[in-house]
Amino acid sequence: MFQLRQLKIFVAAAETLSFTQAAKRVHLSQPSVTEQVQALEQSVGHPLFIRQNNRLRLTAAGERFASRARELLAMADDAFREVRGGIGDQGGTIRVAAPQTLCTCLLLPQLLRFADSHPGIQVSIQERNSFATAQAVLGGTADFGVVHGWPANDANLHADLLARDMPVVVMPSGHPLSQASGIRPDALAAFPLIATMEGCRYREYLDALVQESPVRPRIRGEADSVPALMRMVSAGLGVSILPRMAVDADATGARVEWRPLSTLGEGLPICLLTSASAPARHVAAFIDVIRLAATRSDEPMPAVDMKHRAGRVAIAK
């Protein structure tokens, strides 16, 4: 049977894809990390990593186990906090920054539920682009941030991989592609594309994905925000590619559908950004909630009653 210590080591290796970097994170030697991972693989009865040319890649079993390992570690942390007094009656503020799409689909529903179960907690959501999110964390105006994609390297900024958000093709209702269960990039060559502006993380993602097609689709229009892009798609101007969690038709009122994009890639990373200092206990507890929610990023988020539940939630744009 495995131990929590082994799970922490495995998660560190899964997030860094390096035994050397994992060893630094968990403050062990690299041989010790390798030994613990091997012992864990023997316990579960499957290889968790593919080792090739000093590089690591998760196996299919490793991907599944990483999700469960994070859940188990979060449950263990919750249990320890309850035994030590918990945070239920404590006050405090949680300040989190993220792009609009992740605020809407990931952070806001979880923050509202967390605030409901912790009445003394005040919560603040800051809608920022990816660069501004990192700056908010570094500058101390946000306790943590969540972004799509890896941030620029900074010694004072810690980035953890929460999950990978798989791409989907967004199309108007009744579009011919809506009959497909999975769409290959080369199938998009027959349709005009709607993209976000140059420099946007989602535009970079779209450009990388269409490189898999021998014929590059024509970009017919550009939008400076995801809601505007969704409305352009809804109007029939073209189709688009977005990470799954960026698609929130209800928030924009757009009449669109989406289907998975069959791609060779691993999906766009969803990263948690924190500073070098340890978070307060109530912030750490909420970070655990976000870790669990992000691992289920391919599932639709349930609706949230904003009208009656946003009394202690401030949203800054």
Selected residue with higher pLDDT from 174 and 278: 174
The region of weakest confidence among 37-46, 187-196, 243-252, 274-283 is 243-252
C-alpha distances out from residue 7 to 18, 152, 217, 241, Å? 15, 28, 44, 35
Each residue's pLDDT tens digit, 19-33: 888 888 888 888 889
The region of weakest confidence among 30-34, 87-91, 187-191, 208-212 is 87-91
Which percentage of the chain shows pLDDT scores above 90? 22
Per-residue pLDDT, 273:
94
Selected residue with higher pLDDT from 312 and 232: 232
Which percentage of the chain shows pLDDT scores above 70? 86
* Residue range 280-291: mean pLDDT, rounded: 86
* Banded pLDDT at 297 (limits 50, 70, 90): very low
Provide the 3-class DSSP secondary structure of residue 175: coil
Selected residue with higher pLDDT from 84 and 93: 93
Per-residue pLDDT, 232:
94
What average pLDDT is seen over the chain? 82
* Banded pLDDT at 113 (limits 50, 70, 90): confident
Each residue's pLDDT tens digit, 231-258: 999 999 999 999 988 887 555 556 888 9
Per-residue pLDDT, 83:
53
CA atoms within 13 Å, Cβ hemisphere of 7: 17
Per-residue pLDDT, 308:
39
Per-residue pLDDT, 315:
53
* Residue range 75-94: mean pLDDT, rounded: 63
C-alpha distances out from residue 128 to 10, 141, 162, 272, 289, Å? 32, 12, 19, 14, 21
Amino acid at 209: L
CA dist., res. 8 & res. 25, Å (int) = 10
* Partner residues linked to 243 by β-bridges: 167
Each residue's pLDDT tens digit, 156-208: 889 998 888 889 999 998 899 988 877 888 888 899 999 999 888 898 889 88
Per-residue pLDDT, 80:
64
Query: How far from chain centre, in Å, is Cα 154?
Result: 20
Per-residue pLDDT, 38:
92
Taking each helix axis from N to C terminus, what angle separates 4-16 and 60-83, rounded to the nearest 10 degrees? 130
